Amino acid sequence: MKAIVYERYGPPEVLHVGEVPKPVPQKNEILIHVRAAEVTKSDCEMRRFKFAVNWFWLPLRIAMGIRRPRKPILGGYFAGEVDAVGAAVTRFKPGDAIFGCAQMRLGAYGEYLCLPDDYTIVPKPDNLSFTEAAAVPLGGLNALHFMRRARLQPGETVLINGAGGSIGSFAVQIAKAMGAKVTVVDHPIKADLLRNLGADHFIDYTREDFAATGQTYDVIFNMVARNDYARSIACLKPKGRYLTANPKFSDMIRSVLTSRFTDKTAIFAFAGETKAELLTLKTMIEEGKIRSIVDRIYPRAQAAAAHHRVETEQRLGAIIIAEQDCP
């Protein structure tokens, strides 16, 4: 089968299409014909082995490969069809349209992918194409996780810092569905997109520092690794909640102290990416409460261009690698 592979860490040009053996499902696995996969910031970070947050560098390097990638096919979030099932599989059958997460097995940049049937994989929403569905799991699952941890109440105010990415764009929609008033912070090229997703107020970080406006919020959700922790906490109302998806190690320690010794709560717990949460997103999509946003679709042969697009931070939605004529 064809797959996008890389044999060394480096720039996007290390990616190329190669021939690799087609996987064979074990008794508890399903063989997935991958129709579309999201290109994520994590994919780019693993490809070059350079991360915005460095505290997990050593264990991840050991897991991923010290001198060269141990797993040469990237891709953690996908949509596709079940091609075959193992003898013990009862949840799926060939032909089922699905979407989900490959977790640390990766491999969604290939034509086919084998995963255990108990992974976070569920039926694809009826009203999404494969390309649209592939754009949901990463951003949707993380956004749902954090917005639930925030315990949002109708009428509360939320600031989302770095709202124009995969997670932030879903967080805006989910927060609005929960009845919150949403302020977003990002580059001005993303202003129209975020307003169309429901944002009530937009702050252009190139011209204004949200921490210097004097405004306070019930919840701040931060996706920016270099964000100033103390100044963000100062922008919370009494009993406010601060959530971060890209915590520095120092901020993790400070979060514990903030939650223990002040009236505010700081949360950095990572998303579990469960089947139940993905089914919740599926229902919300089919009910029209949230939607998938795709910026561009690239064929496998243009994987390097797809990675360049993600790294420019200029995208307006998810970047997807998909087969030609993928419905």
Least confident segment among 56-65, 204-213, 253-262: 56-65
pLDDT of residue 54: 57
Q: Provide long-range contacts, Cβ within 8 A and 24+ apart, for 18-26.
A: 20/72, 20/73, 20/110, 22/111, 22/112, 23/112, 23/113, 23/114, 24/114, 25/84, 25/85, 25/86, 25/89, 25/114, 26/86, 26/114
pLDDT of residue 255: 87
Instruction: Give the span between the Cα atoms of 28 and 26, in whole angstroms.
Output: 6
pLDDT single digits (tens) 221-252: 999 888 889 999 999 999 999 999 877 778 88
**Is residue 281 included in any domain, yes or no?**
no
Least confident segment among 32-46, 206-220, 310-324: 310-324
Asked whether residue 239 falls in the same domain as residue 130, the answer is no
Domain count, the chain: 2
Asked whether residue 149 falls in the same domain as residue 251, the answer is yes
pLDDT single digits (tens) 74-125: 999 999 999 999 999 999 999 999 999 999 899 999 999 999 999 999 999 9
Asked whether residue 169 falls in the same domain as residue 231, the answer is yes
pLDDT of residue 32: 98
Q: What is the dihedral of CA 210, 142, 294, 217, to 10 degrees?
A: -20
Instruction: Give the span between the Cα atoms of 296 and 289, in whole angstroms.
Output: 23
Asked whether residue 14 falls in the same domain as residue 120, the answer is yes
**Is residue 286 included in any domain, yes or no?**
no
pLDDT of residue 323: 78
**Is residue 280 included in any domain, yes or no?**
no
Mean pLDDT of the region 244-268:
87
Asked whether residue 165 falls in the same domain as residue 207, the answer is yes
Q: Which domain holds residue 51?
A: 2-136+292-322
Q: Provide the mean pLDDT of the chain.
A: 92
Q: pTM higher than 0.75, yes or no?
A: yes
Asked whether residue 142 falls in the same domain as residue 129, the answer is no
Q: How confident is the model at residue 57 (pLDDT cuts 50, 70, 90)?
A: low
Percentage of the chain modeled with pLDDT above 70: 94
**Is residue 283 included in any domain, yes or no?**
no
Biggest alpha carbon–alpha carbon distance for the chain: 61
- CATH number for the domain that contains residue 11: 3.90.180.10
pLDDT of residue 268: 85
Asked whether residue 151 falls in the same domain as residue 54, the answer is no
Mean pLDDT of the region 10-27:
96
Instruction: Give the span between the Cα atoms of 165 and 152, in whole angstroms.
Output: 21
Asked whether residue 194 falls in the same domain as residue 94, the answer is no
- CATH number for the domain that contains residue 176: 3.40.50.720
313 φ/ψ angles, rounded to the nearest 5 degrees: 60, 20
**In this structure, what token pair is assigned to residue 128?**
């999404």
Instruction: Give the span between the Cα atoms of 270 and 247, in whole angstroms.
Output: 10
Mean pLDDT of the region 306-323:
93
Q: What is the dihedral of CA 159, 162, 164, 170, to 10 degrees?
A: -60
**Is residue 284 included in any domain, yes or no?**
no
Asked whether residue 248 falls in the same domain as residue 301, the answer is no
**Is residue 106 included in any domain, yes or no?**
yes
Q: How confident is the model at residue 325 (pLDDT cuts 50, 70, 90)?
A: very low
Asked whether residue 223 falls in the same domain as residue 197, the answer is yes
Residue type, 172: V
**Is residue 275 included in any domain, yes or no?**
no
Instruction: Give the span between the Cα atoms of 305 and 199, in whole angstroms.
Output: 30
pLDDT single digits (tens) 168-208: 999 999 999 999 999 999 999 999 999 999 999 999 999 99
Asked whether residue 123 falls in the same domain as residue 167, the answer is no
Which candidate, 139, 77, 138, 81, places its Cα nearest to that of 102? Answer: 77
Q: Which residue has the higher pLDDT, 4 or 49?
A: 4
pLDDT of residue 94: 97
Asked whether residue 131 falls in the same domain as residue 20, the answer is yes
Q: How many CB atoms lie within 10 A of CB 126?
A: 9
**Is residue 167 included in any domain, yes or no?**
yes
- Only one residue has tokens 């050991």, namely 62
Which candidate, 305, 301, 322, 294, places its Cα nearest to that of 34? Answer: 322
- Cα dist. 21→24, 110, 145 in Å? 9, 10, 36
